[in-house]
Amino acid sequence: MASLKKIAQVQSIDQSLKQTKNFVLLKYSEVPTQLFDGLRKSLKKANSALSVVKNSLFEKAINILSSNDKLFKDLKKNFFPLKESTLIIYLGEDWSRSLKQFSDFSANKKNFTFKFGILDQIIYDSAQLTKIAQLPAKDQLIAKIIGGLTNPARRFTLATKFNINKFVYILKQKSQSRG
């Protein structure tokens, strides 16, 4: 029979998954406490939360959710049973920023690897999550697009001013040489 503590943990995982919608599971090995604390702090800045989760309890929470949601049924079918130690990152609304934060933090550390995740109601495997995490954050991409759109107009303005500025410069030089 399951203990009340385990039942409460499964319910907590269930509620967290319902509330956040976006999450990523990580495999970890031999991680010192200081590294965990550093990762938690960096993710907290990105409005995300990190938690160690027991595989069997996570599977039970997904079993509960899969009875009502096709997405979790697919997750269960493709990725279960879970093996190895597991961390879960509950991502905030701007999940791209959180993934970028994690990618930057774990760039030279081999202790963490992705298992799978759900982002915007789409299931991603570890290879896809690695690629997504290496992309620039959403706000950086928007800034690049806006810069790219304004660049031709800026260059056109400078090109039209160039001849006038050159003419004014020549006139100024002529007036100084006569005076």
Domain carrying residue 113: 4-135
Residue 107 CB contacts under 8 Å (≥ 6 apart), including other chains: none
When pLDDT is averaged across residues 84-111 and rounded to a whole number, the result is 77
Both 143 and 126 in a single domain? Answer: no
Residue 40 to residue 137: CA distance in whole angstroms: 19
pLDDT at 170 > cutoff 70: yes
Average pLDDT over every residue of 7-31 = 80
Of 50 and 108, the structure prediction assigns the larger pLDDT to 50
Q: What is the pTM of this model?
A: 0.68
* 144: confidence class by pLDDT, cuts 50, 70, 90: confident
Q: Average pLDDT of the chain?
A: 80
Tell whether 141 and 130 lie within a shared domain.
no
Residue 45 confidence (pLDDT) above 70: yes
Is residue 143 domain-shared with residue 129, that is, in the same domain?
no
Mean pLDDT, rounded, for 129-155: 82
* The two structure tokens encoding residue 134: 């290496």
Kindly state whether residues 148 and 124 are assigned to the same domain: no
Cα angle 85, 35, 82; round to 5: 10
pLDDT interval class at 179 (50, 70, 90):
low
Cβ contacts of residue 124 below 8 Å, gap of 6+?
116, 117, 118, 132
Q: Of 28, 91, 83, which is closest to residue 58 (Cα–Cα)?
A: 83
The count of C-alpha atoms lying within 13 angstroms of the C-alpha of 171, restricted to the half-sphere facing its C-beta, is: 6
Residue 31 shares a structural domain with residue 106: yes
Mean pLDDT, range 14-35, rounded to an integer? 79
- Chain centroid to Cα 90, Å, comes to 11
| Domain tally, the chain | 2
Integer Cα distance of 151 and 44 in angstroms: 36
**DSSP code, position 2:** -
Mean pLDDT of 66-84: 78
